[in-house]
Amino acid sequence: MLTIHGVTRSRASRIIWLCHEIGLPFRQHPVIQAYRLPDPDAADAPLNTHSASFRKLSPGGAIPVIEDDGLVLSESYAILLYLARKHAAPLGPASPEEDALMLQWCFQAATSIEPDALTLLFLHGRGQAQSGEDQALVANAAERLIRPLRVVEDQLARHGYLVGNRFTVADIAMAETIRYAQGYGPLMEQFPAIGQWLVDAQGRPGFQKMWQARLSEPE
């Protein structure tokens, strides 16, 4: 059976959402991010991204990692695409062309959206008091996000989904990436098609099941 290493309050959420969508059973090892622990190296620390046993699977010390039929795989977008290909359409690619488009959207999410969206999450979304320097970082990140989000907006306004006029793994990858910026109104209100698509995607039973598990984990 597929094993997912990583707590649900991490990028493992996108893998877990996909598994629920395609009805794929999995075991979850709740490895937690070391930075969330006061002393990740303490003898009584829970299993975390510093733990020696986890480092054997993930030398870079990052979650999520999966084990599947002897394959050990890290990098959440690679994991999504691997599982989607293995289990194929409707959520995975039905042709090499769809496969290429799914790759395109995943690369766009990973390279042009995720870093700045995470800046918005960490410096704005969690409601911390912001220094002037933080506010400048937030404004710059939001400014850089306009161009890639415009591409996503145009695609969704015309087709409703990213690939194949249906909900696919590309929508999961992109929705989980844009979620990091979702709480930043001055940016997101410029993209109504993305807003509606996020509401629909996050209303799906697969997302809701993942989200309830996530909320049940300690912050």
Ligand X SMILES: N[C@@H](CCC(=O)N[C@@H](CS)C(=O)NCC(=O)O)C(=O)O
Interface contacts to ligand X, rule CB under 6 A: 10-11, 33-35, 49, 61-64, 75-77
**Cα distances (Å, whole numbers) of residue 193 to 102, 161, 168, 197, 219:** 19, 10, 17, 6, 31
Cβ-defined contacts of 127-135 (< 8 Å, 24+)? none
**Minimal distance in Å, beta carbon 138 to ligand X?**
20
Question: What is the rounded CA–CA span in Å between residue 159 and residue 165?
Answer: 6
**Minimal distance in Å, beta carbon 157 to ligand X?**
27
Question: What is the rounded CA–CA span in Å between residue 193 and residue 177?
Answer: 16
The three-class DSSP label of residue 29 is strand
**Minimal distance in Å, beta carbon 19 to ligand X?**
16
**Minimal distance in Å, beta carbon 189 to ligand X?**
27
What is the DSSP secondary structure assignment for residue 71, as one 8-state letter? E
Q: CB-wise, 77 or 197, nearer to ligand X?
A: 77
**Minimal distance in Å, beta carbon 16 to ligand X?**
12
Q: CB-wise, 51 or 168, nearer to ligand X?
A: 51
Note the helical H segments in 88-131.
96-108, 114-120
Neighbours of 6 (CB within 10 A): 27
Phi, psi of 16 (to 5 degrees): -65, -40
